[in-house]
């Protein structure tokens, strides 16, 4: 697509929107301006290509398409079949999977599809068979009672939230923590690393139906071969949630024991984050679970979003290009450069560094909570998110950590030198921020004090750092 074509496309789209609700058009334009000016370090965010963005704004949005390719509950889905089949084909080829299901609307939806597919495959229940066969109306009250009892007592072993796991791996407020009798494995208190021997002991003691690996805030590789051996030793289904590092798998940065696809029974992911696609989810699996996975709609999901599946097809096609592998490697190189820069300036990092796309700073060394650090950085033009650290004394709301990641800045073209400069800016803000007090004069976990002049200076330096790396340079909204 030519630079002129991209500008014309987005300008025209905003002009049409402005004719109906100008405030929405203004908010869209403002979001682009904000993203261009911010040093975006949120590990779960990225910038999708103009082609991917444009693939979402079209007539596919108007279609209902429950079912799967060639087996829809609505007529007139031949074009939806085309884009869904293309997205699944690209996913299979990209990840070396035998089956891909591209309908999930999010990573949580993808995990729900996986959970139900595993339950349907593993739990002997006539009521479940009826439900999976779409004979829900034939279920008696006795069937429903048996279904709730049988499925509610199944066990899941996943990574704890404060060790870097995700809330969908059994965290109590999430549906996964209500569906399953759940236990968590953590990390070694001294190193912050997964202790596979301890995971094996926990699996032998707990005997889970599902062993879950994957993370949202663990800055190291996971050995999926060992995790599969642990799962096999107790007869568990091995599930990997690779939402955060899917781009590193697609780009062949994670291979062998660190590529989950050859080792897991089932793999879930989002399609944004390091994969750089639209917001959505996906499930990869072998033939033994394919039929159950394809029943995700209507068993778990509402109607598929054909316009998002079209964008997934575009983004996955982009990820199959040779330059994506270079991009994936630069993500890791930049994360390690950022970690090194922080360490040299005295920051404390969980596990002492990173092997992937993210860095987790323990800001208690600066005398701050994660919430204080997050807001002080935001005041200074640096967008991050607070995150728990292992055995976090401040809990999941205030936290003691800041999670930062490099997928978005790598997309913009920043490299090692800019990562070192970014480390300096982060250290400047955190070292100049002090805890505040509440109305009663007591120490506050939320309030903080930062000289506005420091925030302004860092914000200007952040903007200057981004100037040589314009975001969507071909898009000029005028």
Contact 454/380 with Cβ under 8 angstroms?
A: yes
Mean pLDDT of 359-384: 97
Annotation says 273 is catalytic = yes
Max alpha carbon distance in the chain (Å)?
68
**Residue 127 scores a pLDDT above 70:** no
Active-site position among 36, 37, 45, 66: 66
Write down the pLDDT at residue 165.
Answer: 81
Active-site residue (options: 241, 294, 379, 418): 241
Residue tagged active-site, from 72, 220, 228, 273? 273
What is the Cα–Cα distance from 309 to 279, expressed in whole angstroms? 10
Asked if 270 is an active-site residue, the reply is yes
Domain architecture of the chain: domains with CATH:
59-319 (3.40.640.10), 323-466 (3.90.1150.10)
Euclidean distance between CA atoms 368 and 236, whole angstroms: 41
> How large is the average pLDDT for residues 31-59?
95
pLDDT band for position 125 (cuts 50, 70, 90):
low
Look at residue 148 and tell me whether its pLDDT is greater than 70.
Answer: no
Residue carrying structure tokens 């120490």: 443
Structure confidence at residue 300 as a pLDDT band (50, 70, 90): confident
Higher pLDDT, 297 or 52: 52
Task: Please give the residue that has the higher pLDDT: either 251 or 135.
Answer: 251
Global model pTM greater than 0.85? yes
Choose among 424, 423, 362, 418: nearest CA to 394.
362
Mean pLDDT of the chain: 92
Over residues 432-445, the pLDDT tens digits come to 999 998 888 788 89
Banded pLDDT at 305 (limits 50, 70, 90): very high
Long-range CB contacts (within 8 A, 24+) of 89-94: 90/313, 90/316, 90/317, 90/319, 90/320, 91/282, 91/284, 91/312, 91/316, 92/284, 93/320, 94/250, 94/316, 94/319, 94/320
Which entry of 18, 64, 130, 420 is annotated as an active-site residue? 64
Mark whether 279 is an active-site residue.
yes
């Amino acid at each position: 697509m030519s630079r002129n074509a991209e500008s014309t496309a987005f300008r025209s789209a905003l002009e049409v929107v402005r004719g109906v609700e100008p405030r929405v058009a203004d908010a869209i334009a403002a979001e682009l301006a904000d993203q261009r000016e911010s040093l975006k370090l949120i590990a779960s965010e990225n910038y999708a290509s103009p082609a991917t963005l444009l693939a979402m704004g079209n007539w596919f949005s108007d279609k209902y398409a429950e079912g799967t390719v060639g087996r829809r509950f609505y007529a007139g889905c031949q074009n939806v079949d085309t884009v869904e089949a293309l997205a699944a084909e690209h996913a299979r080829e990209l990840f070396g999977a035998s089956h891909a299901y591209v309908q999930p609307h999010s990573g949580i939806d993808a995990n729900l599809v996986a959970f139900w597919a595993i339950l349907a495959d593993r739990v002997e229940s006539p009521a479940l068979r009826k439900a999976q066969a779409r004979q829900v109306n034939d279920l008696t009250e006795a069937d429903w009672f048996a279904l709730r009892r049988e499925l509610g007592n199944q066990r899941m072993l996943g990574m704890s939230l404060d060790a870097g796991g995700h809330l969908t791996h059994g965290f109590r407020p999430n549906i996964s923590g209500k569906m399953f009798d759940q236990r968590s494995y953590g990390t070694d208190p001294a190193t912050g690393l997964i202790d596979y021997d301890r995971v094996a002991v926990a699996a032998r003691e707990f005997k889970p139906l599902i062993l879950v690996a994957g993370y949202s805030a663990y800055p190291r590789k996971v050995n999926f071969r060992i995790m599969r051996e642990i799962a096999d030793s107790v007869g568990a289904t091995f599930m990997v949630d690779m939402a955060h590092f899917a781009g590193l798998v697609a780009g062949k940065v994670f291979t062998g024991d660190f590529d989950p696809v050859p080792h897991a029974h089932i793999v879930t992911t989002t399609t944004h984050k390091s994969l750089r696609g639209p917001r959505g989810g996906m499930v990869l699996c072998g033939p033994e679970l394919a039929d159950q996975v394809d029943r995700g709609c209507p068993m778990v999901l509402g109607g598929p979003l054909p316009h998002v599946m079209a964008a997934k097809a575009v983004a996955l096609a982009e990820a199959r290009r040779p330059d994506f592998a270079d991009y994936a490697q630069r993500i890791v190189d930049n994360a390690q450069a950022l970690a090194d820069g922080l360490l040299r300036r005295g920051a404390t990092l969980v596990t002492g560094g990173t092997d992937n796309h993210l860095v987790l700073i323990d800001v208690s060394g600066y005398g701050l909570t994660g919430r204080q650090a997050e807001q002080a950085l935001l005041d200074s033009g640096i967008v991050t998110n607070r995150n728990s650290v292992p055995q976090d004394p401040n809990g999941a709301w205030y936290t003691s950590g800041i999670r930062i990641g490099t997928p978005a800045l790598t997309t913009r073209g920043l490299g090692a030198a800019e990562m070192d400069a970014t480390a300096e800016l982060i250290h400047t803000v955190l070292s100049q921020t002090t805890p505040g007090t509440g109305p009663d004069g007591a120490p506050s976990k939320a309030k903080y004090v930062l000289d506005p002049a420091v925030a302004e200076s860092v914000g200007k330096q952040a903007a200057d750092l981004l100037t040589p790396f314009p975001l969507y340079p071909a898009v000029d909204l005028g």
